[in-house]
Amino acid sequence: MNELWPWMLLAGLGAFHGLNPAMGWLFAVALGVHRQSSAAVVQAVPAIALGHAVSIALVAGTVVAAGLLVNQDAVRTATGGALVVWAIWHQVFGHTRRVRIGLRTGLAGLAFWSFLMATAHGAGLMVLPALMPLCLTESPLREIGGVGSAAMTIAAVGVHTLAMLAVTGLVALAVYRWVGLEILRSAWINVDLVWTLVLLGTGVALLIVG
pLDDT at 173: 93
Among residues 80, 52, 55, 76, the alpha carbon closest in space to that of 66 is found at 76
Give 188 or 74, the one with higher predicted confidence. Answer: 74
* Angle of CA points 161, 48, 94, to nearest 5°: 95
| Residue 175 Cα distances to 11, 23, 41, angstroms | 22, 15, 10
Domain enclosing residue 159, as ranges: 5-209
On the question of pLDDT at 209 being above 90, the answer is no
Write the burial class of residue 199 (CB in 10 Å: 0-12 exposed, 13-18 middle, 19+ buried): buried
pLDDT at 201: 92
pLDDT at 137: 57
Q: How far apart are CA 147 and CA 26, in angstroms?
A: 38
Q: What percent of the chain has pLDDT over 70?
A: 85
CB-based burial, 85-109: b 16+ in 10 Å, e otherwise: ebbeebbeebeeeeeeeeeebeeee
Looking at the structure of the chain, the number of domains it has is 1
* Angle of CA points 169, 170, 171, to nearest 5°: 95
For residue 144, give the 3-state DSSP assignment.
coil
pLDDT in tens, 133-183: 887 654 443 444 455 677 888 899 999 999 999 999 999 999 998 887 666
On the question of pLDDT at 1 being above 80, the answer is no
